[in-house]
Amino acid sequence: MIPLYQQLITPEIIALARARRACAAAVAWAEASPRTFAELQAKNMDWWNWAVLHNLVNEVTPAQFERAAEAFVLHRLTALRDAIALLRDALALSRACAALRLTAVTKIETSEK
């Protein structure tokens, strides 16, 4: 088996990554010139973790897979937390807008009497 630092990311692996919906930036980087999985790992750990979890990397140790899975889950939880914060902000803004509309309608109704 070829050591990880020498394993090339082949056109077949790139096509498989694209089919599994890899991010466009990672695919473009891999296609730009011959790359190895070691270069991928050094370039972007999120891309590396994604490749490990999508079975694109041969000979991954259980420890490497566990670290990739943990990083992936933490990344998703962080993204979820951020999305929840954005939703809370949007809800607060929506409530503020509704209160302003109610105030405006009340003022118009009062002035018409």
Q: Are residues 42 and 77 in the same domain?
A: no
Q: For all residues of the chain together, what is the average pLDDT?
A: 86
Helix orientation angle between 62-112 and 45-53, rounded to the nearest 10 degrees: 110
Q: C-alpha distances in angstroms, 90 versus 4, 61, 94?
A: 46, 43, 6
What six digits make up the tokens of 104? 């405006």
Q: What is the pLDDT of residue 59?
A: 72
What six digits make up the tokens of 39? 């270069």
Q: Are residues 4 and 55 in the same domain?
A: yes
pTM of the model: 0.60
Q: Would you call 54 exposed, middle or buried from its count of C-beta atoms within 10 A (0-12, 13-18, 19+)?
A: middle
Q: How confident is the model at residue 16 (pLDDT cuts 50, 70, 90)?
A: very high
State pLDDT tens for residues 38-50. Answer: 899 899 988 988 8
CA 65, 66, 70, 71: dihedral to nearest 10 degrees? -40
State the residue range of the domain holding 69: 61-113
Q: Are residues 42 and 23 in the same domain?
A: yes
